[in-house]
């Protein structure tokens, strides 16, 4: 699997809820490995971005599986944490707005409200249940990816805010975009 397997809006499959994983088979473990490879391949094609995480729905597999990069700041660290059947058990902290992008939303970023701390329960690839208390950027990533398993894309949180959308420039910086021209009437996003 590679970056070409990652589906993008307006593909309606991104809006579908994923199913819970029952038994973790060799097939499930292969899906996980393929998701990691697709994330890394996408990252290799992007000069100013890191492949932080991916939900199985983003490769058109409707199972509640998420892979999250272990080290967001080091592109040389290509290891991931696997979350099977992840769910947020508690939202904590305050709501903050920060920038988010998505492998399934080409070249558009948004300023999205998220809780600063969440508690997550999931299973690892051996079926063992574990819990994570995530804060800061990791909390944002967990909320973003678990949203994917529920058929929600980050732009759904900001679709009515004309000041929340940005585009990545060639130099890696974000610039505001014309909401009416690039977002509001853009059937690609909805």
pLDDT of residue 48: 80
Is residue 190, in this structure, part of any structural domain at all?
A: no
Give the catalytic positions in this structure: 145
The pLDDT value given to residue 185: 61
- What's the pLDDT at 164? 86
Is residue 125 situated within a structural domain? yes
Q: Model-level pTM? A: 0.92
**Which pairing describes strands 165-168 and 105-123: parallel, antiparallel, or unpaired?**
antiparallel
What separation, in Å, do the N-terminal and C-terminal C-alpha atoms of the chain show?
Answer: 26
What does the pLDDT read at residue 178?
Answer: 73
Runs of H (alpha helix) within the chain: 26-44, 136-149, 179
Task: Indicate the DSSP class of residue 100.
Answer: E
Tell me, yes or no, whether 13 lies in a domain.
yes
Assigned token pair, 97: 């707005």
pLDDT digits (tens, 9 = 90+) for 178-187: 766 666 665 5
Does 151 reside within a domain? yes
Which candidate, 68, 39, 58, 38, places its Cα nearest to that of 152?
A: 58
Residue 153 belongs to some domain of the structure = yes
Residue 122, beta-bridge partner list: 130
Rounded Cα distance between 162 and 110, Å, is 10
CATH of the domain at 58: 3.90.45.10
Structural domain boundaries, residue 100: 3-184
Domain-located, residue 146: yes
Q: Report yes or no on 73 lying in a domain.
A: yes
> Does residue 189 lie in a domain region?
no
Residue 143 is encoded by which pair of tokens?
Answer: 């909320």
How many distinct structural domains can be found in the chain? Answer: 1
What digits encode the pLDDT tens for the residues 25-50?
999 999 999 999 999 999 999 888 89
**Local confidence band at 170 (pLDDT 50, 70, 90 cut-offs):** confident
């Amino acid at each position: 699997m590679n970056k070409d397997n990652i589906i993008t809006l307006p593909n309606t499959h991104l809006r579908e809820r994923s199913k819970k994983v029952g038994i973790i088979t060799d097939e499930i473990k292969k899906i996980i490995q393929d998701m990691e490879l697709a994330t890394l391949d996408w990252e290799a094609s992007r000069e100013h971005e890191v492949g932080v995480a991916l939900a199985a729905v983003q490769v058109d597999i409707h199972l509640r599986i998420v892979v999250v990069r272990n080290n967001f700041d080091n592109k040389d660290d290509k290891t991931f944490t696997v979350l099977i059947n992840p769910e947020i058990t508690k939202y904590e902290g305050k709501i903050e707005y920060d920038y988010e992008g998505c492998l399934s939303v080409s070249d558009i970023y948004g300023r999205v409200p998220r809780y600063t701390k969440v508690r997550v329960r999931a299973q690892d690839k051996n079926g063992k249940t574990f819990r994570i208390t995530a804060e800061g950027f990791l909390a944002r990533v967990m909320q973003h990816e678990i949203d994917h398993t529920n058929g929600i894309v980050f732009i759904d949180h900001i679709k009515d805010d004309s000041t929340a959308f940005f585009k990545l420039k060639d130099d890696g910086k974000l610039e505001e975009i014309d909401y009416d021209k690039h977002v509001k009437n853009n059937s690609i996003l909805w």
